[in-house]
Amino acid sequence: MAANRRLRLRLEACDTPHAVDLPRQGIVPPSRPSFGTDARLLDELTTLVARAAAAILAIAPAALAPRTKLDQSPVTAADEAAQAVIVDGLARLMPGVPVVAEEAARRPEVLPSSFVLVDPLDGTREFIAGRPEFTVNVALIVDRTPILGVIAGPALGRIWRGCVGTGAERLMFIPGQPPQAVDPTAIRVRRAPSHGFVAVLSRSHFDAQTDALLDRLPIVERTHLGSSAKFCLIAEASADIYPRLSPTSEWDIAAGHAVLTAAGGTVLTPGGEPISFGRPPEFRVPAFVAWGDGEAARHHRFE
């Protein structure tokens, strides 16, 4: 409990993120209480996600050893390597703060107000198929809401990160020893274009309900991707809406939720309500719609 109290105090206000020359730390306002040592959380999490991204790229295709889990989703040695890097790093950065990770053998049954959600390799199907859109995701949840998120696209050479209430940015990801995140660019959502919306959609889980929802909107372009990169396209003003009316897991969307919200967007239930995170044991999200333009979100309700 004390660890969560210190963490919450530290994140009452997030600093505008800066470039990270990994593994150097970034900048935190001196008035913000520290968590543990004088760790600089956003930059440290960026370092951690970059290392996990590098661990994925270091595994040769012949060594992936893909298999199918009980829920029929795939997992590989790369998922497990990335998760090991992240979980070990989080234990050092935020001792005592629970971590809910996709590939964990056991997950907490009761959670405090602050915890971390991890998807070490989102888009495993695309990764196995050789597509570049897979991502690494870490999000900090406070009071059931993602407030900080970091997403890496290892094969895309990008890292996106954001702190709600402060802003979001995109960085270049350069694998190596050590990996680097450089050339930060502030990102911000756009107003919904008057001529129609660009929709980003799931490649592997697109369903008839979502298709019917799109038929009710002025959609001029559809792009299918297999990971949280969809949130990032909206956050950087390349798309306008990402609907998903089939269930997904909290770790699939938490980091994207934080990055998009930090960039000025919103993620809501189809009926326009906030999404609550930290619901064990399944950690499921029944449906959501991610928007860039909050005004457009207010004008469209789907329940």
User: pLDDT tens for residues 137-156?
Assistant: 999 999 999 999 999 999 99
Mean pLDDT of 123-133: 94
pLDDT at 177 exceeding the cut of 90: no
Query: 148 and 44 in one domain?
Result: yes
pLDDT at 24 exceeding the cut of 70: no
pLDDT at 197 exceeding the cut of 80: yes
The pTM assigned to this predicted structure is 0.88
Report yes or no on 182 lying in a domain.
Answer: yes
CATH number of the domain residue 216 falls in:
3.40.190.80
Integer-rounded Cα Rg, in Å, for the chain is 18
Mean pLDDT of 107-130: 94
Alpha carbon separation from 152 to 38, 145, 227, 276, 278 (Å, rounded): 24, 21, 11, 24, 23
Q: What is the dihedral of CA 239, 100, 161, 258, to 10 degrees?
A: 50
- pLDDT for 267-292, tens place per residue? 999 999 999 999 999 999 999 999 99
pLDDT at 172 exceeding the cut of 60: yes
- Domain-ending residue, one of 187, 208, 234: 187
Give the count of domains, the chain. 2
What is the full DSSP assignment across 78-90? Answer: HHHHHHHHHHHHH
Query: 30 and 177 in one domain?
Result: yes
What pLDDT does 23 receive? Answer: 35
CATH number of the domain residue 32 falls in:
3.30.540.10
DSSP-based three-state secondary structure for 293? coil
Report yes or no on 17 lying in a domain.
Answer: yes
Percent of the chain with pLDDT over 90: 77
Under the banding of pLDDT at 50, 70 and 90, the label for residue 71 is: confident
Query: 116 and 212 in one domain?
Result: no
pLDDT at 20 exceeding the cut of 70: no
Report yes or no on 62 lying in a domain.
Answer: yes
Query: 154 and 21 in one domain?
Result: yes
What is the full DSSP assignment across 29-90? Answer: -TTSPPSTTT--HHHHHHHHHHHHHHHHHTS-GGG---EE-TTS-EE-HHHHHHHHHHHHHH
What pLDDT does 303 receive? Answer: 67
Rounded CA separation 245/267 (Å): 13
Range of the domain at 146: 2-187
- The 10 Å Cβ neighbour count of residue 299 is 10
Query: 180 and 255 in one domain?
Result: no
What is the full DSSP assignment across 95-161? Answer: TT--EEETT-SS--SS--SEEEEEEEEE-HHHHHHT-S--EEEEEEEETTEEEEEEEEETTTTEEEE
pLDDT at 50 exceeding the cut of 90: yes
Rounded CA separation 120/134 (Å): 10
The residue with greater pLDDT, 157 or 72, is 157
Report yes or no on 192 lying in a domain.
Answer: no
Angle at 263 between CA 261 and CA 268, to 5 degrees: 25
Query: 114 and 222 in one domain?
Result: no
Residue 106: partners with Cβ closer than 8 Å, 6 or more residues away? none
Query: 109 and 47 in one domain?
Result: yes
Query: 96 and 37 in one domain?
Result: yes
What pLDDT does 22 receive? Answer: 41
Query: 220 and 159 in one domain?
Result: no
Structure token digits, residue 261: 């919200």
What pLDDT does 106 receive? Answer: 86
- pLDDT for 92-110, tens place per residue? 999 999 999 999 978 888 8
Mean pLDDT of 244-260: 97
Rounded CA separation 36/38 (Å): 7
pLDDT at 236 exceeding the cut of 90: yes
Mean pLDDT of 121-133: 95
Percent of the chain with pLDDT over 70: 87
Rounded CA separation 99/116 (Å): 5
Query: 180 and 34 in one domain?
Result: yes
Alpha carbon separation from 228 to 12, 45, 97, 124 (Å, rounded): 26, 17, 24, 12
- Residue bearing tokens 């995701």: 137
Query: 216 and 269 in one domain?
Result: yes
- Domain-ending residue, one of 135, 152, 187: 187
What pLDDT does 238 receive? Answer: 97
Under the banding of pLDDT at 50, 70 and 90, the label for residue 220 is: very high
What pLDDT does 31 receive? Answer: 30
What pLDDT does 203 receive? Answer: 87
Report yes or no on 22 lying in a domain.
Answer: yes
What pLDDT does 11 receive? Answer: 46
- Domain-ending residue, one of 187, 210, 228: 187
